[in-house]
Amino acid sequence: MQISRNTRLVPDQLLRRLLQAFEDGTELSPGGLSYQRLDFQELYEILPDAFVVTPAISRSEAIGLFGRALRQCRHAGPLTGDAILSVATALHHKALAVPPSRFTMWTKFRAQGMDHAPSLRLVWRGVRVRTAAQLPAWLSLDEYFLNGVGVSSRASRMAMVISS
């Protein structure tokens, strides 16, 4: 995983101006960061465009990653693109270092033309997906209804079980 600067979309001069505007519009206090202006959220949306993450992450993940890096850099001292780059890289490495955990979940779905097959199994990016006519006993729930919403024994005829 690598994070680098994207000077094509956000040149260094523009990034410096954006960071200076953020620094001018925020104030450090004992309780954290105080915002003096209301347009700080726009910077969080623009900031991921100044960097390239390889392999790519989603836009919302990038906004969260670079927003955290920006706030940490603001607490640490003057804001620079290099400082944000190094903090974002460290945060991303820390997030990737969390070992994957095994899980199983189920969801109901509706499929047509499945009468001829009792189940369907596939593996996608290490995740096993299988359909079943009934849930395994260890995933089954007792019947319940609350305001007409819930699970009945008839409602779980077709289920999809997803495991990592």
**What are the extents of the domains in the chain?**
2-96, 104-163
Confidence of residue 155 (pLDDT cuts 50, 70, 90): very low
Label residue 103 by pLDDT band (50, 70, 90).
confident
DSSP state letters, 66-116: HHHHHHHHHHHSS--HHHHHHHHHHHHHHHHTSPP---EEEEE---SS-TT
Q: Give the DSSP H/E element, type plus range, for residue 60.
A: helix 59-76
Top-confidence residue, 21 or 102: 21
pLDDT confidence tier of residue 71, bands split at 50, 70 and 90: very high
Give the mean pLDDT of 4-10: 91
First to last CA, the chain: 22
pLDDT of the residue at 151: 55
Full-model pTM? 0.63
**Does 141 score more than 70 pLDDT?**
no
Instruction: Please list, in sequence order, all residues whose beta carbon lies within 8 angstroms of the beta carbon of residue 145, skipping any fewer than 6 positions away.
Output: 152
